[in-house]
Amino acid sequence: MSHLSTLQSSTDLLSTSTIIALTIFFSLLCACIVVGHLLEESRWANESITALLLGLGAGAVVLFLSKGNSSSILVFSENLFFLYLLPPIIFNAGFQVKKKQFFKNFTIILMFGIFGTVISFCLISFDRYLVLKLQWLTFAANTAGAFLLFKRIGVTSLNTQDYLAVGAILSATDTVCTLQVLNQDDTPFLYSVIFGEGVVNDATSIVLFNAVQSIDMDNINALISLKLLGTFLYLFFSSTFLGIAAGLLSAFIIKTLYFGRHSTDREVALMMIMAYLSYMLAELLNLSGILTVFFCGIVMSHYTWHNVTESSRTTTKHAFATMSFIAETFIFLYVGMDALDIDKWKASSASAGTFVAVSTTLFALVLVGRAAFVYPLANFNTCIRKRGSSNIEFRQQFIMWWAGLMRGAVTIALSYNQFSNSENNNTKDSALMITSTMIVVLFSTVVFGSITKPLIEAVLLRHTKPNVSDATDIPSLEELRIMFIENGEANDTGENQPAAAARRRSGLRLLLTHPTWTVHHLWRKFDDRFMRPVFGGRGFVQFVPGSPTGAADETSGT
């Protein structure tokens, strides 16, 4: 039978190592799903933590079986992460986000995202050599802090660019973790603010990271800082525009050709491919693919989703969620398995004390850095809004600070990019930085991730009074009545000039008192009159009860 066995062992058209790796990964994914399901009732565990711990366990087993030589089955690949795993997660987040809630808090989200950057840039132009603050206050604190503290611990070989990179890497809040821990239905305000901040933040973080890698840090001046700000704004708006354009194009194609007549599969395939294409195009044009695919998801759920057949609706809603779920679980599994990569730990050749010291330092910087901008900005937000109802309570500020502390796969991917390709010759310190980042990610995900749910329950939900900030910006009944009457008149009379003028005047008054709500109202009118007849959407193709974002969404505005 020896002949047979040689025949058998040679039947590999495919590389065996890839197959082994894939088999192990997919077995672990199955295990994650089943274990995650069994732990569903637990307040402390969630799917990320299960995946992370299972990944760690599997890594340990592989390490043991290979007798301490290697634990990594697949090495962490930035391509895999940024090209295949991240897009479905962010797209699904855009597709399933409660659009009304998201846009109602859009000012706060943008303030957290953009004003933070502006403040940092102003600081740079005043104080350009000593404390190089390129992003957020977090970033400044992280950078300066890292610089001062690391000198004491004895990590000396890193250059200015490396410190700036550490700041950029650690200021990226992980959207994937946030999605897993926060619940859109229980805490809609927090969910939309922290998740929205995370999306904007991701873009900012990547822009600044690239800037740090490419700019000569010794010649920084106010002009360059302003150019960086310009670049950021250009990136933000062009990425958003690209995402919206891709979404509208898909809506237009599906509405015009009316694929449903023939095939559900084609509709679903077209939606998937267009969404992915928008991400790829953004990356190709050096824009932020994350922002693009997020807005593409929003537009698709608003227009395209309503143009397809009933079965396509069910399919897309669940298929996108499933793909996102698989990608999330895969990422955490991946991070868990990669954490025990023995080569990196050996390469850093540092004592356990150094690891603990560096990791603690980094983690403390994350804590302080986030506190440094969440509390001031939240209070600033309270100041510029006059009505008492729009306050962000201290409790909520605390949760906003806490929930944004988790760091995830984006941090690890950026850290690899900086420290494994660094021109820095001292590979020991680079390896130390990668492993320390990994410790921060593991610790924040496992510890903070498991505490967050019970914490939110304890801090927010036990207070039985309705959460005030979740009711922000809803005008009084009286104003609503006026608005609805006007709305009805406008639809009936159309060209009636005095009525339109009165409406405009009244609109201006409302814009001053309830800016967000009025913008939303104006958008609804614009949407109904110009957008929906062209791109379809609810009611313009066929009425459906329920939308991917839940039945309660959108209806209150019409």
Whole-number minimum distance, CB 419 to a copy of itself, in Å?
14
The phi-psi region of residue 406 (left if phi > 0; otherwise alpha if psi is between -120 and 50; otherwise beta) is beta
Whole-number minimum distance, CB 118 to a copy of itself, in Å?
18
Amino acid at 232: F
Q: Which is nearer to a copy of itself, 40 or 127 (CB)?
A: 40
Residue 105 CA, distance from chain mean position:
16
Q: Which is nearer to a copy of itself, 231 or 391 (CB)?
A: 231
Contacts of 315 (CB under 8 A, 6+ apart): 264, 268
Q: Which is nearer to a copy of itself, 267 or 473 (CB)?
A: 267
- Both tokens of 182, joined, read 């926060």
- Both tokens of 148, joined, read 């001062």
Amino acid at 380: F
Three-state secondary structure call for residue 73? coil
Please report the beta strands in 152-306, taking only residues with DSSP state E, as ranges in sequence order: none
C-alpha 208/C-alpha 111 separation (Å) is 17
Contact status, residue 94 vs residue 373, Cβ threshold 8 Å: no
Q: Which is nearer to a copy of itself, 78 or 393 (CB)?
A: 78
Q: Which is nearer to a copy of itself, 309 or 390 (CB)?
A: 309
Whole-number minimum distance, CB 30 to a copy of itself, in Å?
5
Q: Which is nearer to a copy of itself, 82 or 345 (CB)?
A: 82
Q: Which is nearer to a copy of itself, 201 or 359 (CB)?
A: 201
Whole-number minimum distance, CB 183 to a copy of itself, in Å?
13
Whole-number minimum distance, CB 206 to a copy of itself, in Å?
7
Whole-number minimum distance, CB 423 to a copy of itself, in Å?
14
Neighbours of 9 (CB within 10 A): 9
C-alpha 536/C-alpha 134 separation (Å) is 43
Q: Which is nearer to a copy of itself, 171 or 348 (CB)?
A: 171
C-alpha 195/C-alpha 177 separation (Å) is 10
The phi-psi region of residue 72 (left if phi > 0; otherwise alpha if psi is between -120 and 50; otherwise beta) is beta
Whole-number minimum distance, CB 76 to a copy of itself, in Å?
13
Q: Which is nearer to a copy of itself, 312 or 549 (CB)?
A: 312
Whole-number minimum distance, CB 74 to a copy of itself, in Å?
13
Rg (CA), the chain: 25
Q: Is 415 exposed, middle or buried (0-12, 13-18, 19+ CB in 10 A)?
A: buried
H and E: helices and strands count for the chain? 27, 0
Whole-number minimum distance, CB 8 to a copy of itself, in Å?
5
